[in-house]
Structure 1
Amino acid sequence: MKNFLWVTLFLLGGSILAQDAEENLPVENLKANVVNAQSDMPLESVHVINLNKVIGTITDAEGEFNINASVNDTLYFTFLGFKPQKIRVTNDMFKFGGTKIALTELAYALEEVVVRPYELTGYLEIDVKNLPVNSAYQYSISGLNKSYEAGNKNPGAVTKVLGAIMNPADLLRNLFGKKPQQMRKLRQMKEDDNIRDLLASKFDRETLTQLLQLTKMDIEDILSNCNYSTSFIQTANDLQILDAISGCYEEYKVLNRR
């Protein structure tokens, strides 16, 4: 029993030391190039995100980028029409330079599709009257600076608002309490212009799942329990989703302190 205890303490201590050593790794400027895997041609405007440091950049006309990183950081590359890719930073990438990251084109088999959601005439005054209006009203709780989306898109919102008033901290603790490290990244993500620009152009939640280490289902559950309608969850871009999660998390922190 005593030997078992010593082994456990030894392994635990080694794990803590390894974690501290990883966190204290020096931050250096990493320079590399992104190319098309099929043609070896440089790719411009590829978004590069350091998932550990929560910072981003884009490649220039030569496919080159510079980003602060440490050994063992994970870089996430995303570009329209190409498969997203994750690369682990190694010592060799700093030591030798000239690293090439090759992205693979996505192959789509598309059939001709004619989409006619609404009968539009081309005249603005007439077409505006024919478009459906999203009547997703919002309810607010005084003092929380938070609105709850409702209307015919989210008929249970009133009940959820009342539940939030009665016990709001418990409602959100189950959502965020299990993911404190990921949630702390929200503010960093919102402050980086390159990450915001990327998220504003995306609707697939792929980058968000990588940054927050959450599944798409986790994201939907968070927004649903924060009283966002199904319409918003399905149609908002990734930046709007980020801001919604961030706002809900800030509310959770205020309520949790109370």
Structure 2
Amino acid sequence: MRIFFLGVCCFFSLFGLAQEDAETNTVKAIVKNAQTDEPMESVHVVNLNQVVGTITNEQGEFSITAAVNDTLYFTYLGFKSQKIRVTNDMFRFGNTEIALTELAYALEEVIVRPYQLTGYLEIDVKNLPINNAYQYSISGLSVGYEGGNKNPSAVTKVLGAILNPADLLRNLFGKRPNQMRKLRQMKEDDKIRDLLASKFDRETLTELLQLDKMDIQDILNNCNYSQSFITTANDLQILDAISSCYEEYKVLNRKK
């Protein structure tokens, strides 16, 4: 009986070590253009499970920390984004090729003349639109609130968030603990930050956080970010905004 018990302990110890090794394995592969078969440089590769990122080199090669069944997300401007599930064969052979397909756009003639500029700076400056989104700073609070355009409802929106912030944020984040835990990891990975800073489509954010675009917009709306900010901010700014709002939620929860 004692021998059997020792055998079971050894088995689970080896199994645990094997799992630990699997988590620290490195996937190596090459990304190519599906149409030309040429290697693609500077393709962003993100492990959606472990929230780490990298980019391909001049030969289209990359390496990234991954485990079996992790999902790798590939994105490059002008190409269709792609998700690949990590398999044992990718670790064994190391010569995996991933092909990305160019997006086909039907371009129409566009005349870029939105503001009828004259060429005279003093006149043109007066004709350019001004961002009317106002952010309110409240004494005693470390975070400001964007209330939108300058009108009475903007102030009401800010005061409503201050008077009853706990219930608001609890409804937003309480049902999404797993997604929100990834926020800090995303902010700490330089490759992911660089990728998000160059994107405005929310596509990578939705994949990483497992939220749809409407969820992201609802979070920002209820955290008092203006429609102007939500529309024009890049994905990194959106990430920082959601993260800031989530930190407020955690602070309020600790004070209960």
TM-score relative to the length of structure 1:
0.87
Distance 1:29 1:155 in 2: 56
Alignment-derived partner of residue 49 in structure 2: 52
How far the C-alpha of 1:133 sits from its partner, in A, is: 1.5
Question: Any conservation in 2 of the 1:172–1:252 contact (CA below 8 Å)?
Answer: yes
| Equivalent residue for 1:200, pick from 197, 200, 213 | 197
Alignment-derived partner of residue 117 in structure 1: 114
TM-score relative to the length of structure 2:
0.88
Worse-superposed segment, 247-256 or 125-134: 125-134
Alignment-derived partner of residue 180 in structure 2: 183
Judging changes above 3 Å, is the alpha-carbon distance between structure 1 residues 53 and 119 closer, same or farther for their aligned structure 2 residues? same
Question: Any conservation in 2 of the 1:57–1:65 contact (CA below 8 Å)?
Answer: yes
Q: Secondary structure at the match of 1:189?
A: helix
Worse-superposed segment, 59-68 or 132-141: 132-141
Question: Any conservation in 2 of the 1:148–1:157 contact (CA below 8 Å)?
Answer: no
Alignment-derived partner of residue 13 in structure 1: none
| Equivalent residue for 1:138, pick from 128, 135, 139 | 135
Distance 2:214 2:49 in 1: 22
Q: Secondary structure at the match of 1:102?
A: strand
Judging changes above 3 Å, is the alpha-carbon distance between structure 1 residues 149 and 89 closer, same or farther for their aligned structure 2 residues? same
Alignment-derived partner of residue 223 in structure 2: 226
The unaligned stretches of length 5 or more in structure 1 are 1-19
Question: Any conservation in 1 of the 2:196–2:235 contact (CA below 8 Å)?
Answer: yes
Alignment-derived partner of residue 17 in structure 1: none
Amino acid paired to 1:197: D
Question: Any conservation in 2 of the 1:136–1:151 contact (CA below 8 Å)?
Answer: yes
Q: 1:20-35, aligned counterparts within 5 Å?
A: 24=20, 25-35=22-32
Distance 2:79 2:245 in 1: 33
Judging changes above 3 Å, is the alpha-carbon distance between structure 1 residues 117 and 88 closer, same or farther for their aligned structure 2 residues? same
How far the C-alpha of 1:235 sits from its partner, in A, is: 1.2
Q: Secondary structure at the match of 2:161?
A: helix
The unaligned stretches of length 5 or more in structure 2 are 1-15
Q: Secondary structure at the match of 1:156?
A: helix
Q: Secondary structure at the match of 1:186?
A: helix
Amino acid paired to 2:82: Q
Amino acid paired to 1:234: T
Q: Secondary structure at the match of 2:136?
A: strand
Distance 2:113 2:151 in 1: 26
Amino acid paired to 2:173: F
| Equivalent residue for 1:250, pick from 240, 247, 252 | 247
Q: Secondary structure at the match of 2:144?
A: strand
Worse-superposed segment, 150-159 or 39-48: 150-159
Alignment-derived partner of residue 3 in structure 2: none
Alignment-derived partner of residue 208 in structure 2: 211
How far the C-alpha of 1:160 sits from its partner, in A, is: 2.6
Q: How many residues align?
A: 239
Question: Any conservation in 2 of the 1:83–1:106 contact (CA below 8 Å)?
Answer: yes
Distance 1:236 1:154 in 2: 22
How far the C-alpha of 1:125 sits from its partner, in A, is: 3.5
How far the C-alpha of 1:154 sits from its partner, in A, is: 7.5
Question: Any conservation in 2 of the 1:153–1:231 contact (CA below 8 Å)?
Answer: no
Judging changes above 3 Å, is the alpha-carbon distance between structure 1 residues 36 and 113 closer, same or farther for their aligned structure 2 residues? same
| Equivalent residue for 1:85, pick from 70, 82, 91 | 82
